Structure 1
C-alpha cells in the first residue's frame, strides 16, 4: 500500500523559542528551571568548567571569570536562543555591583541577544515590586553571604536579617523543610520580602505556600532568573500563585 502523507494530520509546529542557560558545573536543578518555562519555550543548557574547590568566595570568583562565561555563552548560541541567562547567584554577586554589570556585558559581547544574571535579575525583580528591605536565606558560609549583602547594599537594598546554612558542597540536597525553617527564622516585620539565594536550592513548590504563610513576596534565585529572561523575550513565566510571576507581566510590545 502506498504511503499517503496526507493521512497524518497534526498541529503546526510552533516557532522555536529558547533561552540559553549558562550554569555552574554542579548545577543539579535543570528540571526546576523548566517548571517556570512556558510550553512553547525550550531551555538550552550548558555548564561552566569544573572547579575543584568547595563553595567559597574562591569558587564563586572562578565561576564568574569572563573568559569562561564568554565561551559558555558562545557555546549555547548554536540553537539561536532569544535570551541567555547566567544561572548562578554567587558567581554574579561575588564581584559586587560593577562585577555583575561587567559579567552581563561579557555575555552581550559574546553574542547573546539579551543577557541576564541571577543577581541582576534579583535587583530587577525587587525594583519591579518596589521593595527596598529584605531578609535573606542562603546555603553559603558567612564570607559568601556577606558578599550578597554588600551587593544588595550597593543597589540601595537593605538586608534587615540574614541566615546562611554554612554548606560547602551538595547544596542541591537541601530539602524543602530546611528552606521553610530558614525562612521562618529569618523573616522580620520590617522585611518587605524574603530572598532565597543559590540556583542549586530547590524552591518551586514552596514559594506560594511560604508567601501565604508570611504574607509577603518570597523570591528565589531560579525564579528571578527565569522571570527576567522570559520578560526579555516578551513572555511571562509559569508559576501559579507566586507573587513575582503574577506582577511580572511581559512589557508591552
Structure 2
C-alpha cells in the first residue's frame, strides 16, 4: 500500500480525491488533512501547513503535497520552493505543491506552450502565468473566470465553458489550476472535446505525489497525464 498525504485548504472539492483514488484502481491510498483558509498568503503559511502535517503523519504518508495552487504560486518561484522545503522538513518525507505539480506535469508531457483557464480574478491568474514562465513554460493565453469563492459549486457545464473560453489554438495543453474545482470525473470529456491534454489541479496534485514516490499508474480516466510514457529530456 502506498499512502499519499494531501494538505487541502478548507472544504470544496475534496471529494475529487475519493474519486481519483477509485479511478487509480490499485494499492494507493489518498489521505487528506484540511487546513484553515486565511487572507492571501496566510493560507500557505508554514504554521498552517505544519498543523495539517501533524494529522497526516498519523497515516504514515510516503509523500506530502500542499494541494493549493494559489497558496503556493502567490509566494513566487523562490518563495514557493522555500515553502515546500519547510513542508518536507515538517513531514520528514518528500514534499511538493500543486503549483510545482503543474510544472512537472507539463514537462512530463513534453509540451512547451500552454493556455490557462483560471477561476481566479485576472491579477491572480496572471501570477500563475508568471510562475509558469519562471519555469520556462510559454503561456499562450490567460483566461480569468473572476470567481473568488464559488468555484466548488460549478458543475460540468461551467467547467466546460471555462475550458472552451480559455483554450488557444496554439496551446499544446490546457491548465485549470483551481483545486476548488470538481474535475476528476470530467477530464476524459474535456480532452476529447479540446483534442489536447488537460491538466487540472487535483489530478496534478495526485500525480505529483505519485511522482515523489516514483510510482507510475496507468489510469485512462484521469487523462493523458496518467497514460503517456515519460518524455526523455535532452
Q: Same fold (TM over 0.5)?
A: yes
Aligned partner (choices 182, 186, 204) of residue 206 of structure 1: 186
The residue that corresponds to 2:33 in the other structure is 46
Aligned partner (choices 105, 109, 116) of residue 96 of structure 2: 116
CA distance in 2, matches of 1:47, 1:213: 33
CA distance in 1, matches of 2:151, 2:217: 25
CA positional deviation for 1:232: 2.1
SS in 2 for 1:110: helix
SS in 1 for 2:131: helix
Larger helix proportion of the pair? 2
* Counterparts of residues 130-209 of structure 1 (less than 5 Å): 130-209=110-189
CA distance in 1, matches of 2:75, 2:229: 27
**Equivalent residues, number:** 226
Cα distance 1:112–1:174, how it changes in 2: closer, same or farther (>3 A)? Answer: farther
CA positional deviation for 1:202: 0.9
CA distance in 2, matches of 1:102, 1:196: 24
CA distance in 2, matches of 1:248, 1:66: 35
SS in 1 for 2:178: coil
Could you say which structure has the larger radius of gyration? 1
Is the contact between residue 195 and residue 219 of structure 1 (CA under 8 Å) also seen in structure 2? yes
Aligned partner (choices 62, 78, 89) of residue 82 of structure 1: 62
The residue that corresponds to 2:49 in the other structure is 69
The answer to whether residue 226 in structure 2 is matched with residue 245 in structure 1 is yes
Cα distance 1:103–1:248, how it changes in 2: closer, same or farther (>3 A)? Answer: farther
More displaced stretch, 235-244 vs 194-203: 235-244
The residue that corresponds to 1:35 in the other structure is 19
* 5+ residue gaps, structure 2: none
SS in 1 for 2:185: helix
CA positional deviation for 1:19: 1.2
SS in 2 for 1:140: coil
CA distance in 2, matches of 1:19, 1:226: 8
CA distance in 2, matches of 1:248, 1:173: 34
Tell me the C-alpha RMSD between the 2 structures.
Answer: 1.7
So what's the TM-score if we normalise by structure 2? 0.90
CA deviations over 1:163-211 (Å, ceiling 9, x no partner): 1111121220012111111211221221010001111111122211221
CA deviations over 1:207-248 (Å, ceiling 9, x no partner): 112212222110000111101111222323463251000026
Cα distance 1:102–1:248, how it changes in 2: closer, same or farther (>3 A)? Answer: farther
The residue that corresponds to 1:223 in the other structure is 203
CA distance in 1, matches of 2:147, 2:16: 21
CA positional deviation for 1:74: 2.9
